[in-house]
């Protein structure tokens, strides 16, 4: 499945239940929230001239229970739509695998390495596993299930 199709299928409003385990302290956290995912079109003239696709994710915390996420397949740093909003550029990914209904990535954020897997079980159910390492030591494991509500 092409990445743009996969992201389009994931668009919508999701109810998320996430469990986070911190192995060093043996603490477990649980969080329920809403997540809105939508495609963001870049304005004319700001398309990246490189042929390599760059995926960026924009996080905008609406409240402590709801997050808006927008994605760009051709975002560049000069895009005026993203001023004052955190943009996570995933083109620094070490590995990126896209199979049918499955997305897997490994990327670096400062001294953290994030292993992320997302399965689209059906159009209304997603499962996600994230593992975060710091200096080659696992510091967090998270599992979430998302149910599409709109």
Average pLDDT for 121-140: 92
The closest alpha carbon to 119, from 100, 92, 105, belongs to 100
Q: What is the pTM of this model?
A: 0.64
Instruction: State yes or no: pLDDT of 52 exceeds 80.
Output: no
Q: Which residue has the higher pLDDT, 55 or 138?
A: 138
Instruction: State yes or no: pLDDT of 86 exceeds 60.
Output: no
Instruction: State yes or no: pLDDT of 109 exceeds 60.
Output: yes
Instruction: State yes or no: pLDDT of 34 exceeds 80.
Output: yes
State the pLDDT at residue 13. 87
Set out the domains of the chain in order of their start, with CATH numbers.
Answer: 3-148 (2.40.128.20)
Q: Is the Cβ–Cβ distance between 105 and 90 less than 8 Å?
A: yes
């Amino acid at each position: 499945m092409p990445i743009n199709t996969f992201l389009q299928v994931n668009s919508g409003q999701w109810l998320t239940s996430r469990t986070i385990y911190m192995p060093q302290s043996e603490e477990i956290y649980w969080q329920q929230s809403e997540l809105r995912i939508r495609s963001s079109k870049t304005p004319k003239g700001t398309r990246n001239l490189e042929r390599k696709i760059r995926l960026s994710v924009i996080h905008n915390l609406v409240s402590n229970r709801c997050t808006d996420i927008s994605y760009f397949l051709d975002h560049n740093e000069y895009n005026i739509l993203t001023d004052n909003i955190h943009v996570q550029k995933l083109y620094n990914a070490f590995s990126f695998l896209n199979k049918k209904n499955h997305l897997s990535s490994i990327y670096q954020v400062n001294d953290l390495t994030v292993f992320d897997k997302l399965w689209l079980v059906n159009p209304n159910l997603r499962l996600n596993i994230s593992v975060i390492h710091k200096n080659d030591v696992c510091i967090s494991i998270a599992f979430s299930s998302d149910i599409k509500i709109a």
